Amino acid sequence: MAFIVVLLGPVAPASAQALPGGKANYVMSFGLLRQGTSGDNWVRLGTYQFGTDGRVQSRTWWWDQRQPAARVGTGAVPSGACSGTTGTVRQCEIQTVGGFTSAASEQRSGRYRLYNADDGRQIVNIDWDQDSWLSEEWSVHLAPDGTYSQLSFKYSKKFTHGYGYGSNAAFTERRAMSTVLKAQAGTTMTYYRAAHDEVKFVKSTWGLDPWRQCTTSTSCLTVKTQAPKSCSCAGSDNKGLNNYIQKVGSYDRRDTFWHWCDCFTEKAPCPRGNSHVYPLLQIIDDNGGWRGWVGVEAAFYPYKDMADPRSHDMLSVFRVADWI
């Protein structure tokens, strides 16, 4: 019996999937923010990691009006030259929202594909394996210097607003507050906030200047400003606004922003309930440079002195960046 031997050449490897903007690691801020007092708005902060195999992995922290989270201390108390005088912030333990001092609790996986819109923009479509998350799309924009990219929210049935920034820097890479202090002068802040039955968009220069680096700790920045519109309390002329930024993770991108008005706590040295808490993740470019933050506000009204306390929650999707 004769045997026919067929000689096959080497099998060509499957082509690699291109990365969105050529970048693998994105820090993401997104949320469901709607008008009215539905009480089911939520925000998420975390990372999307894209692979050349066409897969994407997500790790996120999440905060939801249906499960209001309390504020928690970070263990950091500013002192020295950055606190303790009439012109500096009060010496209070810096707060963030519950859950952010631990690892991200939510993980998802899915597949992604890239295509070009009619105007030439690159679009990334993500189809999550989890049925409850459906699919989402983001426009991809490469920074002028090519060292990082931006995801601009385009579409989702799951949420309404979002920001993302990515590079090929590892998620374990972060910059010290001394670097942030030197770099943040030229940044812009934008956010969408759901509060008091409305969703508003705000854009402004990140103009909290001059920040102070605490002399007893290199992990925090503070500044006291005067905020006549924000700090308006009946019977008080005190318009001081205490602002704090604190490192949360030593081996990842986590920081937190906390601020509150002096006039709300004139009977106590530090706030015991309501204040603004913004978990943040640093934006790092391919060269390891700090380019800003994405973040969320997850400030849940802590009292039960009204029929609908959820209408006084403050939930925001937030970014501070040198390129928007």
Given a cut of 90, is residue 7 above it in pLDDT?
no
268-283 pLDDT tens trace: 889 988 899 999 999 9
Give φ, ψ of 43 to 5 degrees. Answer: -135, 155
What is d(CA 279, CA 156) in angstroms, rounded to the nearest whole number? 23
What is d(CA 244, CA 82) in angstroms, rounded to the nearest whole number? 10
Given the DSSP bridges, would you call strands 290-299 and 71-73 parallel, antiparallel or unpaired? Answer: unpaired
Angle at 77 between CA 75 and CA 80, to 5 degrees: 150
Average per-residue pLDDT for the chain = 91
Two structure tokens written together for 208:
């909290």
As a whole number, mean pLDDT of residues 244-253 equals 95
Q: Under the phi-then-psi rule, with left for phi > 0, alpha for psi from -120 to 50, and beta for the rest, what region is 145?
A: alpha
Tokens 């509060």, residue located: 195
Given a cut of 50, is residue 6 above it in pLDDT?
no
pTM of the predicted model as reported, rounded to 2 decimal places? 0.93
Two structure tokens written together for 26:
């994105």
For residue 5, name the pLDDT band (cuts at 50, 70, 90). very low
Give φ, ψ of 131 to 5 degrees. Answer: -60, -35
